Amino acid sequence: MVLKSSKIVILLLIFLYLSNFSNADFGTYSEKPSINVCRCSQADDIIKIKNTGEQLTKYTLISNLDFVTLTPSEFQLEAGDIKNVKIEINAPCKNSKKNLIINIQSDKEDNDDIVKQLTIGQCQNLQTRLYTKTNEVNPCTQVNYELLIKNTGSFNENYSIISNHDSINLSENKIGLNPNQEKIVNALTGFSCGVYGETPIVFKVLAENNALQTTLKHNLNIRATYNYSIKLKEDNALCEEEIEPISFILENDVKTPNTYYLELVNQPSFIELSQETITLESKEEKDINITLDVEEGRNIGYYQFFIKSRTKDGDISKKNNVSLNISDCYKLIINILDSQQKICAEEKWLNVNVKNKGLDEERISLKTNNEFVSFEKDYIILNSEEEKNMTLIFKPEDKNFDYEIIIRGVLDNNISSEDSVNMNVLSQWSCSEVITDKTEYSVRRDTENNAEIKISNIGLEDGNYKLSIKPEFWIKLNQTEIELYSGETKSIMLILEYTNETEFGEYPLTLTLIQDDLVYEKQLVVLLKDKPVHIRLGIYFSDKPCQLITVILAIAIIVLLVSSLAFRKKGRLKEKQFKKLNRLIILATIIVTILLYHYQGVPLLNDSIDYSKANQTHFIWIQDNNYEIPISSIVEDPDADQLELSLLDQEFVNLSVENQKIVLTPKQGWFGNTSIIIVAVDSKGASTDSPKIYLEVIKKNSKTIFETYVKFCWYVNWFFLLIILFLIKIIAFKKMRFKRS
C-alpha cells in the first residue's frame, strides 16, 4: 500500500513537471498506454484532466470510437483542479486492433489528444464435459447422455448444442449462462432397429457471441443381434389330385423386433408365397405357406427352387432349398371309341375304353347323363395301368333330335374322368327321306313334251320307292318305281300329253314316293307356257304386214337421223345429181300418196253411221249429243196457243223446247234403242199425243292410242316414209359440192 502511494506521488511530480512545458492551460495523465479487452465484453479505464490555467475553464472530450463512452464528457474545472474521466469500453464480438483517440477541447481554444492502443481479442468462456453410463447396447435400445456446459468467461453468453444424428433428442438445444454459471443438457438416442455396429455420437457446443466451438465425441457400439431361422422340409412329394400347401416356420431368434422379406427364386409359375413380408416381435414365430395352383395334367413333374429371405434391419439374408415332386396318383381315362355321330333312330351299341393310369388298383363307377344311355355294368375294377372296353347301350326315340351323350368314370375319392359325343339321331322317316331338285318345272307348248325331275336320297339308308302322281290328267310318269342308295340322285320324266286346247298356266300335282310304310309327298307345279317371243312375233307380223313395215321404217328413221347428225364433211355429190334426186323424191311421194288414197281412202277415225232407217218417227244420232226437231213437224195448233210439251214415261231421254225446236237430250253416257211419246197440252187444257217415235243412240267409239295407230297404220307408214325421204334429202344436201360464184 505504501509502495503504491509513493508511485502515485512520483507520477504526480512528473506530471507537474511536464505540464510546465505544455502550451495548453491543462494537463492530462493516463496510467495505461494500451488497453486489452475480450470481445463481446466490457472494460473500464481512467484518465486525469488538470486545469493548469489561472481561471475557470470548461472542457469537452470526444472519442473517435462509437463503442467507447467517456464519463463525464463535459465539465468545468477551477484553476488547479483535477478531474477523473472514466473510459467505458463495450467491445464488439470480433477481433480488432485500433487506436483510441480522445480529443480534449477547452473553451479557451486549447486542444489536445490522448492516444491509447485498443486490442479486442477472443477470450475463453466455454468449458464442456460428456457423461454416459454404457459403451455397448443392443439394437433399438435408448442411451442417455449428460452434457455439462460452463461459462468460464466474464460476460453473459448463449450456447447452441447440435448432434450428428437426427434421432438424438436434446432436452435443450439453446441455453444462456452468466459468467461462471454451468448447466447439464440431457440427450437421448432413438436409433431405428436397423442401426448397428460402432456408431459415433458427436455433440457440438457453440458460444454464439464469442464464436467458440467445442466438439464432444463418444463411440457407441450397437451389437448386431438380428438372427432368425426358417424351419422347412426340403423334400416334398404331393399327388396332383390332393394338393396341399407346403408350410414352413419363420422364427425371430433374438429380442430385437424385425421385418422379414421373403421371395421364391426359380419356382414354376403355379407356385407362390402366401406372404412376402412378415413382422415378428422378440422371440416370435409364424407359419408361412407355399401355395400351389395346380392344373390337371399340366403340372406333373419334379421341381427345385429356393426361398430367399432377408431382414429389414441388420441386412441378414438366407437361402433355403426346396424340392417338390408332383405325381398323378389317381389318373383315369375314359373314351367313347365310336366316331359315328349321325344315326337312325334304333338301338345302338357304342364301345367305351376305360384306363386306370393311377398308381393303385381302383374301383371305377360308370355313369351316364340321360335315360336313353346306359352301361352294361355299373362299375369296373382295374389294376394300375390296366384298361378294358365296355359296352354303352343307346336307345333313342323315333324322332329327329340331337343328343349330347356324356359318360363319366368316378373313383371312390370322387376323382373322375369324362368324355362326350354329340349324336344326331334321325327318325326312321328321315333315314329314308328323298327330295326333288326343285318344285316348279316350266314347259313350252309345241316345243317340249316332257320334264326331268331329279330325286335324291338324303337319308342314311338305301331304299326302293314306288312312284305315283295325283291328280291323273295329261301329265304322266315314265316309271312307277325307283331304287336309290343313300346319297344317290336319279332322274324320272314327266310325260306331257297336252293339246292345243290345253290352257297356259300352273298345274299343281303331288308326287308320292312310298318306301315300306314310309310315305313321302312332294308338291310340284308344272308351268305350261306359250311359244317363245321370237316365234310369236313372227306369227304376229305375218298377219299384220302394216305393223311390220312401221317397225322397219322407224328403224330406218333412227339410222338416217343419226347419220344426218353425225355427218359433217362436204361430199362429192354434184348439184345436178342433187336436183335429180329431189325430183325422184317428189315423184315417189306423189305415187305413194295416190296409191294410199286409192286403196285406203280418206282416213276416218269412226265408221260412218247408216241413216237409211231414219224417218219422221225414227231418229238416229251419236252418243252424248242432242237431237233437235222442229215443233211443227210433231204437232200443229190452229189456235196458236201456248203449248207445253213433255215425254210420257221416259227415263233415258229428257225433252226441252228452245227456239221453236224440240231438243232431245239423252242421259250422259247412255246409248241404245228406246221409244218416246210426246204429249202436247195447250193453254185451254186440250192435249194430244204424238205417234210413237223410235230413238236410236249410236255408241261413240273411243279408241286407245294403239287402236288409233292400227286404224291409221298405212297413213303412219306414209308419214314415216316422208320423214325418210326428207332425211335422205338432208344427207344428200350435206354431201353436195356447191360451185363457187
Share of the chain above pLDDT 90, in %: 23
Pick 6 or 610 by higher pLDDT: 610
Separation between Cα atoms, residue 186 and residue 7, nearest integer Å: 54
pLDDT, mean of residues 357-370: 88
pLDDT given at position 22: 39
pLDDT given at position 740: 46
Q: Which residues partner with 195 through β-bridges?
A: none
Separation between Cα atoms, residue 145 and residue 683, nearest integer Å: 163
pLDDT tens-digit series, residues 579-611:
676 777 777 777 777 776 666 666 665 666 667
pLDDT tens-digit series, residues 23-74:
456 777 677 788 888 888 888 888 888 888 888 889 899 999 888 898 898 9
pLDDT given at position 21: 36
Q: How confident is the model at residue 112 (pLDDT cuts 50, 70, 90)?
A: confident
CATH topology of domain 127-222: Immunoglobulin-like (2.60.40)
pTM score, whole prediction: 0.37
Q: Which three cell numbers stand for residue 540?
A: 304376229
* CATH architecture designation of domain 332-428: Sandwich (2.60)
Q: Which residues partner with 261 through β-bridges?
A: 277, 310
Q: How confident is the model at residue 17 (pLDDT cuts 50, 70, 90)?
A: very low
Which sequence spans correspond to the domains of the chain? 20-121, 127-222, 228-327, 332-428, 432-531, 618-698
Pick 447 or 51 by higher pLDDT: 51
20-121: CATH superfamily: Immunoglobulins (2.60.40.10)
Highest mean pLDDT of the ranges 228-232, 564-568, 735-739: 228-232
CB contact at 8 A, 11 and 19: no
Residue 366 has pLDDT above 80, yes or no: yes
CA distances in angstroms from 142 to 100, 135, 139, 145, 439, listed in the order given: 56, 12, 9, 10, 105
Question: 270: which residues sit within 8 A by CB, 6+ positions away?
Answer: 292, 293, 294, 295, 299
DSSP structural state of residue 713 = H
Which residue's entry shows cell 483542479?
81
Number of helices (H), then strands (E), belonging to the chain: the values are 7, 56
pLDDT given at position 663: 86
Q: How confident is the model at residue 737 (pLDDT cuts 50, 70, 90)?
A: low
Separation between Cα atoms, residue 53 and residue 45, nearest integer Å: 26
Separation between Cα atoms, residue 139 and residue 190, nearest integer Å: 10
Pick 643 or 278 by higher pLDDT: 278
Pick 2 or 536 by higher pLDDT: 536
Q: How confident is the model at residue 486 (pLDDT cuts 50, 70, 90)?
A: confident
CA distances in angstroms from 594 to 590, 602, 623, 717, listed in the order given: 6, 11, 35, 14
* Lowest mean pLDDT, pick from 6-15, 333-342, 578-587, 624-633: 6-15
Separation between Cα atoms, residue 46 and residue 29, nearest integer Å: 9
The side-by-side arrangement of strands in the sheet containing 687-689 is 644-647, 678-681, 687-689
Separation between Cα atoms, residue 435 and residue 511, nearest integer Å: 11
CATH topology of domain 432-531: Immunoglobulin-like (2.60.40)
pLDDT, mean of residues 634-658: 77
pLDDT given at position 162: 93
CB contact at 8 A, 721 and 714: no
Separation between Cα atoms, residue 79 and residue 26, nearest integer Å: 9
* Lowest mean pLDDT, pick from 249-258, 427-436, 594-603: 594-603
pLDDT given at position 575: 59
| 20-121 and 618-698, same CATH topology | yes
pLDDT given at position 591: 78
Reduced to 3 states (helix: H, G, I; strand: E, B; else coil), residue 240 is helix
Pick 154 or 257 by higher pLDDT: 257
* Lowest mean pLDDT, pick from 212-221, 284-293, 701-710: 701-710
pLDDT given at position 124: 80
CA distances in angstroms from 345 to 234, 398, 427, listed in the order given: 61, 5, 5
pLDDT given at position 568: 58
pLDDT tens-digit series, residues 295-340:
877 888 899 999 999 998 888 899 999 999 988 888 889 998 876 7
Separation between Cα atoms, residue 308 and residue 60, nearest integer Å: 91
Q: Is 638 exposed, middle or buried (0-12, 13-18, 19+ CB in 10 A)?
A: exposed
DSSP structural state of residue 181 = -
> Taken in order 147, 153, 159, 164, is the CA torsion positive or negative?
negative
Q: What is the mean pLDDT of the chain?
A: 83
The domain 618-698 having CATH identifier 2.60.40.10: the answer here is yes
Separation between Cα atoms, residue 162 and residue 168, nearest integer Å: 9
Question: 67: which residues sit within 8 A by CB, 6+ positions away?
Answer: 89, 90, 91, 92
* CATH architecture designation of domain 228-327: Sandwich (2.60)
